[in-house]
Amino acid sequence: MGWGTLITRRLKVFSLALFVYFDYKAVQKRVQWVSAVKKNAIWAKTHERNARRVLNLMIELEGLWVKMGQYLSTRADVLPEPYIEVLKQLQDSLPPRPLEEVCGTIEKELGKPMRQLFATFDVDPLATASIAQVHRATLEDGREVVVKVQHDGIKEIILEDLKNAKSLIEWIAWAEPQYDFNPMIDEWCKEAPKELDFNHEAENTRTVSKNLSRKTEGGSGSVSSDVDVLIPEIIQSTEKILILEYMDGIRLHDNDSLEEYGVDKKRLVEEITRAYAHQIYIDGFFNGDPHPGNFLVSKEPPHKPILLDFGLTKRISQSMKQALAKMFLSCAEGDQVALLSAFAEMGLKLRVDMPQQSMEIASIFFRQSTTATEAKENIKALNEQRERNAKALQEKMKLNKKEVKHFNPVDAFPGDAIIFMRVLNLLRGLSASLNVRIVYLDIMRPFAESTLLGNMTRGPSTNGEWIYDSPVNSEVESKLRSLLLEMGSDKILGLQVCAYKDGKVIIDTAAGTLGKYDPRPVQPDSLFPVFSVTKGITAGMVHWLVDQGKLKYEETVADIWPKFGTNKKELIKVQKLISLMLCNETVFQDTNRLICHFAIKVYHLLNHTSGLHNALGDVVKTDPMSVCDWEEMLDQIAKSTPETEPGSSQIYHYLSFGWLCGGLIEV
């Protein structure tokens, strides 16, 4: 292909991109002044108009753009319906290449004339895709096969299209920073060229077929026997030719045939999902392109899925496989600490510490699939969540609206995770296109658990590996470690023991793992949330400060902690308010609270009589993760008002005690 043609392709791509972009911008301005009914109608026409423009160019250019269109056509969960309906046409065959070109490629690659290679060869292809087309044939020995033939000159086109796509994504990220897909296109640019070597695809197919046919043992027992799918046998391959066993099946978009044969579409998608869970979590080797065109359904009951096209197949390391399993299971358990640990293990680096928002975003990928109709309703909810996260980020980073739009909270995104998430999105799109609802967490969980639990040491071991390897401090600790080995058989996950005698450490040991889905060993310095156990520690520190003469029990907290309650200027306000107390009951109550704050003594904090027993309750209820921000919690506790007069009632300070004593100790 000449340079002139390549330049023409690039000009067409960017011309259409600009045309569509400005069309949407113009409509955004226009709909501000119309009713809701008219607005919806205008947007529907706009989506359909631009979807057809995109479709026409994709069909004209073929190559990578067809593959991208196929991917988009499966995203009924995020794209407007007109795009799904229009781009769905790309799941059908494209215009076929001339038979002369096809035969020429076959003879050149296999080194023999067609008549010596095949007893029969169908002139009309079964399908024509972006990279190749497939013909049905019969070998000389009578075996029925399909012959996949790469389009002539497609390699140059695909490589040029990748450059154009990269430039387009960079431009979109510049124009609309909230839509930055650079990590995804970077990974695609790395993986897509591998699809151009059919020897690579043949080996991938053999590997996946072998992996899915074996029984897998995990840490919690057998996950499954053979996954119930079919994969064609590889007969022969070269760089541009792939000959496979012929399997007669129904295409997923052929809904009439699926109904005619009585295919259980829900079971079909569940079995496909199981196959991918096995590939990802058990094998660490999975097909990264599960769009509907890469599946057939066998016509014979029980109508097994037939998996095709393993050109884009990803191999991940054992550590990445475990990190992906931990991410999945932490979402299932709502374990934010384990999720952030999984992010770190897979190499996903965040510029800001926002565990709650990280959990919400990660959970999106594993949420229950929906039908196409329900998916449209979910788009609104997802957009609202995106706005909430942007607002939280804005407050966290002290950014204005323009700055938060350009701020990317992710510092580094691993390519392996991108392909993994692409697979999840395609599987969800597959569910939406077939109008079935499945729960991914239920289907994939056993495979993820098998991977993670199968790599964890549990219970006692004869060589003491369950106990953290650290120096023994005393004879007492030596005896304790023997007891810890026995405790391990009682399914205790992990523990720490530390003891002092006369100021000297006599026990400092740990055993087990950090969590159900966290195989890291518990160490003496591992951190755990111990909740009210810290009350004894903080109270002890306050008493110690009194012993050292740095505090007095009778001292007023506000005198020690300037931010506590109000500052000296507030005393003037109190005096002014007192003069109004007799005239206004509300003023009296407000004044009484302010006076109470200045009446809180150190001993009130220690004996739970400060009246601040419910302080911080509303704050934590609104944002549970606010407890991770020490300074914010101190500010909130300092501004809290007592519910009862200090010293009048002893009520357990279940939540506020630590920050009250901690703030006092810090100042």
pLDDT of 484: 84
Report the largest interatomic distance among the alpha carbons of the chain, rounded to a whole angstrom.
111
Confidence of residue 419 (pLDDT cuts 50, 70, 90): confident
Query: What is d(CA 327, CA 334) in angstroms, rounded to the nearest whole number?
Result: 10
* Stretch among 111-120, 311-320, 634-643 having the lowest mean pLDDT: 634-643
pLDDT of 635: 87
Query: What is d(CA 607, CA 626) in angstroms, rounded to the nearest whole number?
Result: 26
- Whether 589 has a pLDDT exceeding 60, the answer reads no
Instruction: Count CA atoms within 13 Å of residue 477 on its CB side.
Output: 21
Cα of 302 vs its chain's centroid, Å = 33
- Whether 181 has a pLDDT exceeding 80, the answer reads no
* Stretch among 237-251, 371-385, 388-402, 453-467 having the lowest mean pLDDT: 453-467
b/e map 517-526, b = 16+ CB within 10 Å? bbbebbbeee
* Stretch among 156-165, 413-422, 553-562 having the lowest mean pLDDT: 413-422
pTM flag (> 0.85): no
Q: What average pLDDT does range 478-501 have in this prediction? A: 83
pLDDT of 77: 55
Residue 587 vs residue 34, higher pLDDT: 34
pLDDT of 571: 40
pLDDT of 45: 93
- SS3 readout for 278-344: HHHHHHCEEECCCCHHHEEEECCCCCCEEECCCCCEEECCHHHHHHHHHHHHHHHHCCHHHHHHHHH
Q: What average pLDDT does range 411-430 have in this prediction? A: 78
- Whether 448 has a pLDDT exceeding 80, the answer reads yes
pLDDT of 632: 86
Query: What is d(CA 354, CA 357) in angstroms, rounded to the nearest whole number?
Result: 6
At a CB cut-off of 8 Å and minimum separation 6, what does 502 contact? none
Confidence of residue 352 (pLDDT cuts 50, 70, 90): low
Q: Catalytic residue positions?
A: 289
pLDDT of 222: 41
The domain segmentation of the chain, as residue ranges, is 456-528, 533-666
Across 149-153, 462-466, 516-520, the highest mean pLDDT is recorded for 149-153
pLDDT of 606: 93
pLDDT of 457: 40
- Whether 473 has a pLDDT exceeding 70, the answer reads yes
Closest C-alpha to 410, from 364, 338, 361, 337? 361
For residue range 503-546, what is the model confidence (pLDDT) as tens digits? 899 999 998 888 776 767 888 888 887 778 889 989 999 999 99
Mean of per-residue pLDDT scores for the chain:
81
For residue range 565-581, what is the model confidence (pLDDT) as tens digits? 653 324 434 444 444 44
Q: Using the structure block, give the residue that is written with the tokens 């046409």.
A: 89
Alpha-carbon distances, residue 420 vs 343, 357, 458 (angstroms): 14, 20, 29
- Whether 397 has a pLDDT exceeding 80, the answer reads no
For 178-225, strand residue ranges (E) read 216-218, 221-224
pLDDT of 208: 96
pLDDT of 330: 82
pLDDT of 225: 47
Q: What average pLDDT does range 399-405 have in this prediction? A: 54
pLDDT of 390: 60
pLDDT of 362: 57
Query: What is d(CA 551, CA 548) in angstroms, rounded to the nearest whole number?
Result: 8
Query: What is d(CA 647, CA 506) in angstroms, rounded to the nearest whole number?
Result: 41
Q: What average pLDDT does range 310-326 have in this prediction? A: 90
**Do you know the residue count of the chain?**
667
pLDDT of 575: 43
Beta bridge partners of 297: 250, 305
Confidence of residue 238 (pLDDT cuts 50, 70, 90): very high
Q: What average pLDDT does range 99-119 have in this prediction? A: 96
pLDDT of 580: 46
Residue 242 vs residue 398, higher pLDDT: 242
Query: What is d(CA 620, CA 636) in angstroms, rounded to the nearest whole number?
Result: 10
Query: What is d(CA 65, CA 164) in angstroms, rounded to the nearest whole number?
Result: 10
Confidence of residue 357 (pLDDT cuts 50, 70, 90): low
Confidence of residue 174 (pLDDT cuts 50, 70, 90): confident
- Whether 179 has a pLDDT exceeding 80, the answer reads no
Query: What is d(CA 540, CA 519) in angstroms, rounded to the nearest whole number?
Result: 34
pLDDT of 628: 77
